[in-house]
Structure 1
Amino acid sequence: MGSVSESIAKSIMFVGTASEIWLQLERRFSLSDGSRKYKLNKDTYEIKQYGGSIGEYYAKIKYVWEELDSINVLPVVSVITPEIFVFLASLNKQKEEQRLF
């Protein structure tokens, strides 16, 4: 269990065999990122406190936020293309213009 995140470990802690763990993880993560993001965003609006403690409510919603963060990883830019250079150069110009006012 040490090779998976804490939130994932909690969901597979009581699964009997390694093959069952793999099947469960495959089912869990087989949704496309778009579908998964939609479901998780929907979940954030559907989670309610329902008389539970604030700590329990926060733990539930934080779990969903962490799941969303895990999918929202931005790709690493390893090559600066002309388009990226133009984009960055225009940011600097905008920043300089804002300083003038």
Structure 2
Amino acid sequence: GLSLGKWSAETYSGSEAGVCHFFGCISLELFGKPSALIGHLERIVNGVVASERAEGHEKIYYHGEKEAKARERSMRIGIDLDQKTRNSIASLAGKHAIPTPKELL
């Protein structure tokens, strides 16, 4: 990557994770009228989602859709934590004299 991080297949090889991120900003006007560009991209996404599904699969997800649905669910009903994580949070709360929410116990 641009920050000399590892690429996908090598991310967790070696002693360090090597995760890197790149953020960039591009003016949509460089590609034409923004509303037309957005409409064009929406048609592409809709076309992909409406494509023939692989055998045994009922839905095609666009990039980030599963994460967006998980966030909506978490905001609505909370985040499910495994018992080890609950215990760790309760331990840290106790160590720092912070009341432990009963939901964690």
TM norm. shorter chain > 0.5: no
Structure whose residues are more often helix by fraction = 1
Normalized against structure 2, the TM-score is what?
A: 0.25
Higher relative contact order (CA 8 A, sep 6+): 1
Normalized against structure 1, the TM-score is what?
A: 0.26
